[in-house]
Amino acid sequence: MRVGLLTGGGDVPGLNAAIRAVVKRGEGEYGHSIIGFRNGWRGVVDGASEPMTRQHIRNVLPVGGTLLGTARYHPHKSDGGLDAVMATLEAERIEALICIGGDGTLHAASKVAEAGIRIVAIPKTIDNDVWGTDQSIGFDTAVTIATEAIDRIHTTAESHNRVMIVEVMGRHAGWIAATAGIAGGAELVLTPEEPFDIDRIERFLKHRHRAHASFSIVVVAEGAVPAEGTAMHYETQVGKFGEIVAGAIGERLKAEIEQRTGFDTRVTVLGHVQRGGTPTPTDRILGSRFGVAAIDAVARGESNVMTALRGERVELVPLSEIAGKVKHVPDDLLAVARALA
Q: Which residues are catalytic?
A: 127
Q: Which stretch binds a copy of itself (CB under 8 A): 5-13, 44-52, 197-205, 224-232?
A: 5-13
Does residue 102 sit in helix, strand or coil? coil
Nearest C-alpha neighbor of 72 from the set 138, 122, 6, 8: 8
Residues 28 to 87 in contact with a copy of itself, rule: CB under 8 A: 28-29, 39, 59, 61-66, 69-71
Q: What is the DSSP string of 208-261?
A: HHHHT-S-EEEEEETT--BPTT---SSPPPB-TTS-B-TTHHHHHHHHHHHHHH
- Is the Cβ–Cβ distance between 308 and 290 less than 8 Å? no
Query: Contacting a copy of itself (CB under 8 A), which of 97, 292, 316, 322?
Result: 292
Compose the 199-238 pattern: x for residues touching a copy of itself by CB under 8 A, - for all others. ---------------x------------------------
User: Was 105 annotated as part of a binding site?
Assistant: yes
Smallest separation (angstroms) from a copy of itself to the CB of 116: 30
User: Was 118 annotated as part of a binding site?
Assistant: no
Residues 123 to 162 in contact with a copy of itself, rule: CB under 8 A: 134, 140, 143-145, 147-149, 151-156, 158-161
Q: Tell me 330's DSSP state.
A: P
In the bound state with a copy of itself, the residue whose beta carbon lies nearer, of 104 and 226, is 104
In the bound state with a copy of itself, the residue whose beta carbon lies nearer, of 248 and 285, is 285
Q: What is the DSSP string of 135-196?
A: --BTHHHHHHHHHHHHHHHHHHHHHHT-EEEEEE--SS--HHHHHHHHHHT-SEEE-TTS-B
- Packing angle, helices 81-91 and 103-114, rounded to 10: 70
Q: Which stretch binds a copy of itself (CB under 8 A): 91-99, 199-207, 235-243, 274-282?
A: 274-282
In the bound state with a copy of itself, the residue whose beta carbon lies nearer, of 113 and 163, is 163
Query: Contacting a copy of itself (CB under 8 A), which of 77, 93, 300, 313?
Result: 313
Query: Contacting a copy of itself (CB under 8 A), which of 205, 257, 289, 297?
Result: 289
Query: Contacting a copy of itself (CB under 8 A), which of 21, 168, 257, 306?
Result: 21
- Is the Cβ–Cβ distance between 133 and 308 less than 8 Å? yes
User: Was 126 annotated as part of a binding site?
Assistant: yes
Smallest separation (angstroms) from a copy of itself to the CB of 230: 26
Spatial distance between the Cα atoms of 12 and 286, rounded to a whole number of angstroms = 13
For Cα atoms 219, 220, 225, give the angle at the middle one, nearest 5 degrees.
150
Q: What is the largest CA-CA distance in the chain?
A: 71
User: Was 54 annotated as part of a binding site?
Assistant: no
In the bound state with a copy of itself, the residue whose beta carbon lies nearer, of 20 and 111, is 20
User: Was 266 annotated as part of a binding site?
Assistant: yes
Q: Which stretch binds a copy of itself (CB under 8 A): 81-89, 117-125, 200-208, 326-334?
A: 326-334
Spatial distance between the Cα atoms of 17 and 283, rounded to a whole number of angstroms = 8
Q: Count residues binding a copy of itself (CB under 8 A).
A: 76
User: Was 312 annotated as part of a binding site?
Assistant: no
In the bound state with a copy of itself, the residue whose beta carbon lies nearer, of 91 and 340, is 340
Q: What is the DSSP string of 35-71?
A: EEETTTHHHHHHT-EEEE-TTTTTT-TT--S-TT---
In the bound state with a copy of itself, the residue whose beta carbon lies nearer, of 82 and 308, is 308
Q: Which stretch binds a copy of itself (CB under 8 A): 73-81, 175-183, 217-225, 235-243?
A: 175-183
Contacts of 32 (CB under 8 A, 6+ apart): 1, 2, 3, 26, 295, 298, 299
Residues within the annotated binding site for Mg(2+)? Answer: 103
